[in-house]
Amino acid sequence: MSKIIDGKAFAASLREQIASRVAKLKQQHQLTPGLAVVLVGEDPASEVYVRNKAKQTVEVGMASVEHKLDENTPESELLSLIETLNADAAIHGILVQLPLPKHINESKVLDAIHYEKDVDGFHLTNVGLLSTGGEGVVPCTPLGSIMMLKDRLGSLSGKNAVVVGRSNIVGKPMASLLLQESCTVTIAHSRTENLADVCRGADILVAAVGRPEMIPGDWIKPGAAVIDVGINRIERDGKKKLVGDVDFASAEAVAGAITPVPGGVGPMTIACLLHNTVQQACRQHNIDMPSA
Ligand code: GUN
């Protein structure tokens, strides 16, 4: 088996399963899951993400609605749009693209989305459900990462997992998921002492710091599974390049399994967003998720 975990292929097969579930929801329940994506401002990277999200939503047979608001939109206007979407029966998932402009309070906006329409897992109720092992919705990037790990390793029980990065979007929810899988979990971050040694103890290493190629191969335990969440745009030898938080060339030589950048975690994130939207649509209609 290749050491490389092919996130692109994994995401494509997950999207096929989602498309088959959506077809059953339409056929058996006359239910078309709908996802609304809200973008405030004109951040170029966010515009690319939003376009890809809309395209893939439609490709799996769901309805996609986009709301593009001006950079200077007042917070109150964004909150009232969320209220309208909360009340719209055709919309089962609402995603407000982050980052938001500075004049808007991010947590206030995320908590305004009804927790049953939250497809990011950022609402406080879903954060609480994840950390207490309840039935909530799980943030997309950690969800995609845990799916790939379980697919490759089978049971994760008893393994030493180190998550480098403590963000609300990736680090903390990833740690919760690994704990649910009965790993021994360490969350490391920029203030961690002897970070290299902490990483060397990991059977599972998740890098989510946002620093290009920060983790070299000699920080990795031979045979470890490495999940690289970083997406960093750099320029090398006059060429623009996308790299992860792990130095892929040296890490690949030691790791037992590793996600590349691009083509690893990235493609799984949108596939998991589609999965979360189907999950929320089923929950709102009290329907069991159809088999794929
Ligand atoms: N911006 C970058 N990634 C994400 C994501 O997963 N969800 C939201 N809402 N915004 C993002």
For the chain, the structural domain boundaries read 28-115, 140-266
Active site residue 97: yes
CATH class of 28-115: alpha beta
| Ligand 1 pocket by Cβ (under 6 Å) | 95-98, 120, 140, 269
Model confidence band, residue 97 (pLDDT cutoffs 50, 70, 90): very high
Instruction: Please say whether the structural domain 140-266 has been given the CATH code 3.30.365.10.
Output: no
Candidate list 56, 97, 279, 280, residue with the active-site label: 97
Task: Indicate the top mutation candidate among 98, 274, 277 to test ligand 1's pocket, ranked by most ligand atoms within 8 A of CB.
Answer: 98
Which atom of ligand 1 lies closest to the CA of 273? 6
Q: Which amino acid is at 282?
A: C
Candidate list 56, 117, 118, 120, residue with the active-site label: 120
Tell me the mean pLDDT in the region 112-131. Answer: 98
Tell me the mean pLDDT in the region 183-198. Answer: 97
Mean pLDDT over all residues of the chain?
97
- pLDDT score for 252: 98
- Confidence check: pLDDT of 1 > 90: no
* Span 22-70, pLDDT tens digits: 999 999 999 999 999 999 999 999 999 999 999 999 999 999 999 999 9
Ligand 1 mean position, distance from CA 42 (Å): 15
> Which has the closest alpha carbon to 199: 242, 232, 247?
247
Tell me the mean pLDDT in the region 87-109. Answer: 97
* Span 72-86, pLDDT tens digits: 999 999 999 999 999
Cis ω for the linkage preceding 142 (within 30 of 0): no
Give start and end residues of each alpha helix (H) in the chain. 7-29, 44-59, 75-87, 106-112, 124-131, 140-153, 171-180, 195-200, 248-254, 265-284
Active site residue 53: yes
Active site residue 120: yes
Q: What is the pTM of this model?
A: 0.97
- pLDDT score for 260: 98
* Span 143-169, pLDDT tens digits: 999 999 999 999 999 999 999 999 999
Tell me the mean pLDDT in the region 212-232. Answer: 98
- pLDDT score for 43: 92
Alpha-carbon dihedral 16, 18, 20, 22, rounded to 10 degrees: -140
